Amino acid sequence: MAITEIEDRITDIINQDNQDEFIYDFLSVYDFPKATITKLRKGTNNLAKESEAVYLKNRLYYQQVAADGNLMQRFVDLKQKVEELGAKPRYIMVTDFKNVLAKDTKTGDTLDVKFKRLPQKFEFFLAWNGIEKADFDKENPADIRAAERFAKLYDVVVKDNPDASRHGLNLFLIRVLFCLFAEDTDIFEKNLFTNRIKELTKEDGSDLDHFFKTLFGVLDIEKNNRNADTPSWLTDFPYVDGDLFKDPHESLKFTQHSRKLIIDAGEKLEWDQINPDILGSMIQAVASEDSRSHLGMHYTSVPNIIKVIKPLFLDELRRKAFKDAKGNEKKLNDLYDRIGKIKFMDPACGSGNFLIITYKELRQLEIDILKELNGMGIATMYVPSVTLDQFYGIEIDDFACDVTRLSLWIAEHQMNKQLEREIDNAVRPTLPLQHAGAIICGNALRIDWDKVLPTNCQTKCNGSSKNISNGV
Output the DSSP codes for 49-117: -STTEEEETTTEEEEE--TTS-HHHHHHHHHHHHHTSSS--SEEEEE-SSEEEEEETTT--EEEEEGGG
**Confidence at residue 443, expressed as pLDDT on a 0 to 100 scale:** 94
Q: Report the alpha-carbon distance of residue 391 to residue 215 in Å, rounded.
A: 29
* pTM (global) more than 0.85: no
Contact 337, 465 (CB under 8 A): yes
Residues 6+ apart with CB under 8 A from 425: 382
Closest to 191 (Cα-Cα) out of 270, 256, 121: 270
Looking at the DSSP bridge assignments, the partners of residue 91 are: 60, 104
| C-beta of residue 155 within 8 angstroms of C-beta of residue 258 | no
> Which portions of the chain are predicted below pLDDT 70?
1-3, 133-144, 277-301, 457-472
pLDDT tens digits for 143-182?
667 777 887 888 899 999 999 998 898 889 889 989 999 9
- In whole angstroms, what is the distance from residue 435 CA to residue 437 CA? 6
Return the pLDDT at 113.
92
The Cα–Cα gap between 207 and 258 comes to 12
Reduced to 3 states (helix: H, G, I; strand: E, B; else coil), residue 391 is: strand
Q: How far apart are CA 326 and CA 310, in angstroms?
A: 20
Are the C-beta atoms of residues 435 and 405 closer than 8 Å to each other?
no
Q: What is the pLDDT of residue 301?
A: 67
pLDDT of residue 112: 94
- Hey, how many other C-beta atoms are within 10 angstroms of the C-beta on 232? 6
Instruction: Write the pLDDT tens digit of every residue in 287-304.
Output: 544 443 444 444 566 778
Quick one: pLDDT at residue 469?
59
313-348 CB burial, b ≥16 within 10 A, e <16: ebeebeeebbeebeeebeebbebbbbbbbeebbbeb
What is the CA angle 48-34-23, rounded to 5? 45
Distance CA 361, CA 314 (A): 8
Which CA distances in Å does 404 have to 249, 334, 368, 408? 20, 30, 26, 6
Quote the pLDDT of residue 281: 55
Return the closest-CA partner of residue 258 out of 215, 197, 300, 302. Answer: 197
CA 93 to CA 56: how far, in whole Å? 12
